[in-house]
Amino acid sequence: MKIRGGPLVGPGGGVLPLSLAVEVDGLVFVSGQLSLVDGRVEGDIALQTERTFDAIAAILSGAGLSLDHVIKATIWLTDPADFAAFNTVYGARLSAPYPARSCVISQLVLPNARVEIEVVASRDHRRT
In the chain the domains, ranked by start, together with CATH numbers, are 2-6+19-122 (3.30.1330.40)
- Tens of pLDDT along 53-112? 999 999 999 999 999 999 999 999 999 999 999 999 999 999 999 999 999 999 998 889
CA 48 to chain centroid, in Å, comes to 11
The span from the CA of 96 to the CA of 87, in Å, is: 13
The span from the CA of 113 to the CA of 32, in Å, is: 12
Cβ-based neighbour number of residue 117 at 10 Å? 26
Cα dihedral sign for 55, 27, 68, 104?
Answer: negative
**pLDDT of 12 higher than 80:** no
- Stated pTM of the model: 0.93
So what's the pLDDT on residue 39? 75
In the chain, the amino acid numbered 49 is T
**pLDDT of 45 higher than 80:** yes
Report the SS3 class of residue 41: strand
The span from the CA of 18 to the CA of 90, in Å, is: 25
In this predicted model, which residue has the larger pLDDT, 111 or 118? 118
The span from the CA of 124 to the CA of 40, in Å, is: 35
